[in-house]
Every structure is written in structure tokens, then in C-alpha cells.
């Protein structure tokens, strides 16, 4: 799969890494790597990957924006009810 294809999935509303993984049948790990490369290559076109950070649905704790992966649990209240980060590309 080409990285430009990956980009097409993320333009507009975007999606979580897990959704993307199911869609393109690649592991989250592989996709993370692909996204890193994609981020570098689109920079030149003044585009960037936007991340809506993950948050705890119990206490609203917000995770760091730089992480694309779904955190396993909340460091604050230890809840595993976590909203995944949403990744999108804005043009």
C-alpha cells in the first residue's frame, strides 16, 4: 500500500489508528511507522497530521497529543474506558 493511499483515508474527518488498521489490514505498529513517514513527506506541502488527543471517558483526563496509540488506561483514575485519539490530515 502506498502512503498516499493512507493519506486519502485521513483527509477530512480522520479516524483512529485501530479503525484505520481494520480498514487497510495492517497492524497498528506498521501504521504508526507509515504515519511517521507520511508526516515528514506532507510537511513540504504545508500539510500536517492533526491529532485529537485520547481522553478518559470517566474523568476526562486528556492524554498527550503526540501519541497516536490508544492508551491502555487512565493514569489518573485507572479506568480503561478510553476514547482513542483521532488522526486526520488537514490540507
What separation, in Å, do the N-terminal and C-terminal C-alpha atoms of the chain show? 21
Could you tell me the smallest distance in angstroms from the CB atom of residue 69 to Zn ion? 17
Determine, following the binding rule CB under 5 A, whether residue 79 of this chain makes contact with Zn ion: yes
- Is 80 a binding residue for Zn ion by CB under 5 A? The answer is no
Q: What one-character DSSP code corresponds to residue 69?
A: S
Asked whether position 77 contacts Zn ion by CB under 5 A, the answer is yes
Does 54 help bind Zn ion (rule: CB under 5 A)? no
What kind and span of H or E run contains 83? strand 82-83
Residue (22 or 73) nearer to Zn ion, CB: 73
The angle at the Cα of 9, spanning 6 to 12, to the nearest 5 degrees, equals 130
58 near Zn ion (CB under 5 A): yes
CA-CA distance, 73 to 38, in Å (whole number)? 28
Rounded to a whole number of angstroms, the minimum distance from the CB of residue 72 to Zn ion is: 12
The reply to whether 91 sits near Zn ion by the rule CB under 5 A is no
Q: Measuring CA to CA, which residue among 81, 35, 33 is closest to residue 54? A: 81
- Which residues make up the interface to Zn ion (CB under 5 A)? 56, 58-59, 61, 74, 76-77, 79
Amino acid at each position: 500500500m502506498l502512503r498516499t493511499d493512507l493519506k486519502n483515508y485521513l483527509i477530512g474527518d480522520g479516524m483512529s489508528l485501530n479503525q484505520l488498521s481494520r480498514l487497510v489490514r495492517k497492524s497498528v505498529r506498521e501504521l504508526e511507522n507509515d504515519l511517521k513517514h507520511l508526516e515528514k513527506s506532507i510537511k513540504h506541502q504545508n500539510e500536517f497530521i492533526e491529532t485529537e488527543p485520547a481522553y478518559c471517558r470517566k474523568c476526562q483526563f486528556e492524554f498527550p497529543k503526540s501519541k497516536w496509540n490508544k492508551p491502555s488506561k487512565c493514569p489518573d483514575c485507572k479506568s480503561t474506558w478510553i476514547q482513542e485519539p483521532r488522526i486526520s490530515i488537514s490540507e
